[in-house]
Amino acid sequence: MKNWKKYALASASVLTLGATLAACGNLTGDNQKSSKSEDGKTVIKMYQIGDKPDNLDTLLENANKIIEEKAGVKLDIQYLGWGDYDKKMNVIISSGESYDIAFANNYVINAQKGAYADLTDLYKKEGKELYEALDPAYIKGNTVNGKIYAVPVAANVASSQNFAFNGPLLEKYGIDISNVTDYASLEPVLKAIKEKDPNVVPFAMNKSYGGPSDDFDYIAVDGLPFVVDLQGDTTKIVDRYTIPRYVENLKTLHKYYEAGYIPKDVATSDTGYDLSQDTWLVREETVGPADYGNSLLTRVANRKIEIKPFTQLYKKNNTTQVANFVISNNSKNKEKAMEVLNLLNTNPELLNGLVYGPEGKNWEKVEGKENRVKVLDGYNGNTHMSGWNTGNNWILYINENVTDEQIAQSKKDLETAKESPALGFIFNTENVKSEITALTNTLNQFTSAINTGTVDPEVEIPKMLEKLKSEGAYQKVLDEIQKQYDEYLASKK
């Protein structure tokens, strides 16, 4: 849901809040597969996050016809489940296994550790075409200590947070969302569905909900509350729990919790809310230009999803690092691996064959409309790959449900999206590792209940801040981030 990227061009079966956290998958594919195929071709091994498509062999067979012709190698993709990915990739990296390509986990940390190959020079030759197609923000946001270690999937380089509404329920109960602009203005909508259908969860969330969305740039370690307030002084690092409007939004969520608009067990629940079902009315979704308004959510849900944005479009580190591919520092095929990544991001026939699946079975071109496709019955839950983490979304064919107006708006959004002043700032945690651990342990005692509206923020936030500050680590970490950020801003002048 909020900050949940997995829906993009994914199967409806994965579109459940918490699926990325609760699903437990195993490594699929032959982990011992030789780096050479039976015909002597070099095999590029890629680790990918998510659920293995049922027809993976067919998808790869079709893809390898193009890859062999263009790069002289074959691609083998091995899937690791949503819930297992970080853990299993950490083991693979620690073991020194000689894989070639992987969907990046803990990108900055592993880049700093030397787990990934420096791609700076490879971008000049094998990845030249790919590099030239990238928005410069992707390079800026993925540069670590002056070097580039990632091949980012070009898609939503900027994004905003949106309230996503269940269209059939809005229509069924005549609920008007025209005045919804923020958390406070949701109240009449939530009240209406609570009265008209008590079986529907008005505001769907679970324990993974990270708190109200705002125009913040989270530039520190995941889970820490330190942000750049993009509506305030962007030269200062602040704690989001000390920003008045953020606290007001938390108070609003607590009010909704008390009114029964948010599930009572939200702070501990893993309950999922399928995008395609009538179990929820509103949820939060991250949406960007490559989603063409509500068209992507609507297509994947197989029902109309209405959206109302409530934050601004910004290019930030986290938007440029949504889907990064990396090449292992231990790979013996770095140049060929980069050639494969270049093809995945520049060859429309290759990418569309993976993301939409087999032509004629999963999709067909719309006659008279360039780059428009109609999805067929074969395009179901698990017969294709996801677009958000496969390749350049801007060379994907556009589904017929996307309007010309949505395409025009998408182009406008890309042109007008703002760039966070902190884009490109990478916080080095080396000097405060133990302090971050201490902070995280304390935060974990409070944040889930506060963020979900379960407790009164006016009571619990002061308690949390008092405990954080009494331990000494809080100020040391904040000062270290500010010091490094000051140096970064000075280097830009």
Domain boundaries, the chain: 12-156+319-414
pLDDT value of position 338: 99
d(CA 296, CA 15): 12
Of 23-37, 185-199, 258-272, which gets the smallest average pLDDT?
Answer: 23-37
Segment holding 163, helix H or strand E: strand 158-166
- Confidence band (pLDDT; 50, 70, 90) for 59? very high
d(CA 459, CA 471): 20
Most confidently modeled range among 262-276, 337-351, 396-410: 337-351
Which of the 8 DSSP states describes residue 107?
Answer: H
pLDDT value of position 150: 98
**453 Rama sector, left if φ>0, alpha if ψ -120 to 50, beta otherwise:** left
Which whole-number Å values give the CA distances from 424 to 123, 141, 230, 326, 329, in the listed order?
18, 4, 15, 18, 23
Q: Is the pLDDT of residue 120 over 60?
A: yes
d(CA 491, CA 487): 6
**Torsion angle of the four alpha carbons 324, 330, 332, 336, in this order, in degrees rounded to the nearest 10:** 10
pLDDT value of position 299: 84
- Confidence band (pLDDT; 50, 70, 90) for 10? very low
Q: What is the mean pLDDT of residues 432-437?
A: 94
Q: What is the mean pLDDT of residues 57-63?
A: 98
pLDDT value of position 13: 27
Q: What are phi and psi of 317, to 5 degrees?
A: -55, -45
pLDDT value of position 2: 44
d(CA 51, CA 40): 29
Q: What is the mean pLDDT of the chain?
A: 91
- Confidence band (pLDDT; 50, 70, 90) for 231? very high
Q: Is the pLDDT of residue 83 over 90?
A: no
The answer to whether 186 and 197 are in contact (CB under 8 A) is: no
Q: What is the mean pLDDT of residues 118-134?
A: 98
The answer to whether 314 and 156 are in contact (CB under 8 A) is: no
- Confidence band (pLDDT; 50, 70, 90) for 222? confident
Beta strand segments in 5-157, E: 42-49, 73-80, 101-103, 143-144, 147-148, 151-152
Beta strand segments in 167-220, E: 201-203, 216-218
Scan for tokens 């991001």, then name that residue: 345
The answer to whether 203 and 453 are in contact (CB under 8 A) is: no
Angle between helices 56-71 and 348-355 (to 10 degrees): 170
Q: Are strands 418-419 and 314-315 parallel, antiparallel or unpaired?
A: parallel
Neighbours of 235 (CB within 10 A): 12
Total-model pTM: 0.86
> What residue type is assigned to position 237 of the chain?
I
Which of the 8 DSSP states describes residue 321?
Answer: T
d(CA 231, CA 248): 15
pLDDT value of position 22: 30
Neighbours of 270 (CB within 10 A): 13
The two structure tokens encoding residue 319? 């938007």
Q: Is the pLDDT of residue 71 over 90?
A: yes
State what percent of residues in the chain have pLDDT above 90. Answer: 85
| CATH number for the domain formed by residue range(s) 12-156+319-414 | 3.40.190.10
Q: Is the pLDDT of residue 404 over 90?
A: yes
Q: What are phi and psi of 276, to 5 degrees?
A: -95, 10
- Confidence band (pLDDT; 50, 70, 90) for 342? very high
Q: Are strands 147-148 and 372-375 parallel, antiparallel or unpaired?
A: unpaired
pLDDT value of position 39: 73
Of 31-35, 103-107, 135-139, 460-464, which gets the smallest average pLDDT?
Answer: 31-35
Q: Of 269, 248, 267, which Cα lies nearest the Cα of 461?
A: 248
Higher pLDDT, 266 or 84: 266
Of 20-34, 59-73, 103-117, 125-139, which gets the smallest average pLDDT?
Answer: 20-34
Higher pLDDT, 27 or 355: 355
> What residue type is assigned to position 318 of the chain?
N
The Cβ-side half-sphere exposure at 251, using a 13 Å CA radius, reads 8
The two structure tokens encoding residue 429? 């945690």
